[in-house]
Amino acid sequence: MIYMYPLNYKIMKHKKILYGLSLIILMACSSCMKPRVELDDSVWGDNAYITTAVLFRYDEVKSQLGYNEVVTGYQNVGITTPTNVVDKAKATVTIIAAKGTDLTKIGIRFSHFAKTIEPVNGAPVAGVVSDFSKGTFVYRLFSADGTVRDWTVYISVAP
């Protein structure tokens, strides 16, 4: 004789397993909702400073690369002269581009220790080829401790 559990028992057993798994998943997901350690950004101090700035352009490059057809790409080429001046006290950067540079088709890269940097009053976005022919731009740096500092960037072309 084979003893059979009632159908209700099997359904109850599966419901208990399902509820148990749901509870474990819920607990696992809710533990990720809050950070375990709050970061204290104020310990980093005032770092709303630019350390270097470089102008660049993209040059088209063609190469065979071992294929039957020529592969076309772009190379990031720095066009800044070694006479750039970063004045931390005045929050200014003076950049002189190489002679003959077309300032309407260049980009700018910054090195800084700030938390974020953003263009102000229509200044071109850093890292994007744009028109820098107007010569003077303002970038706002936000330090981790809450310090905000506006930097003026002067751009010209070597004679």
What are residue 23's phi and psi, to 5 degrees? Answer: -65, -40
pLDDT tens per residue across span 3-42: 555 545 555 566 777 777 777 777 776 666 666 666 666 6
Structure confidence at residue 136 as a pLDDT band (50, 70, 90) = very high
Write down the CATH number for the domain with range 42-157. 2.60.40.4120
pLDDT at position 124: 94
The per-residue pLDDT of the chain, averaged, comes to: 81
Q: Are 56 and 78 in contact (CB under 8 A)?
A: yes
- pTM for the predicted model, two decimal places: 0.68
DSSP per-residue letters across 70-121? -EEEEEEEE-B-TT-EEETTTTEEEEEEPTT--GGGBEEEEEE-SSEEEEET
- Domain regions of the chain by residue span: 42-157
Q: Are 129 and 103 in contact (CB under 8 A)?
A: no
Q: Please say if the pLDDT value at position 88 is more than 60.
A: yes
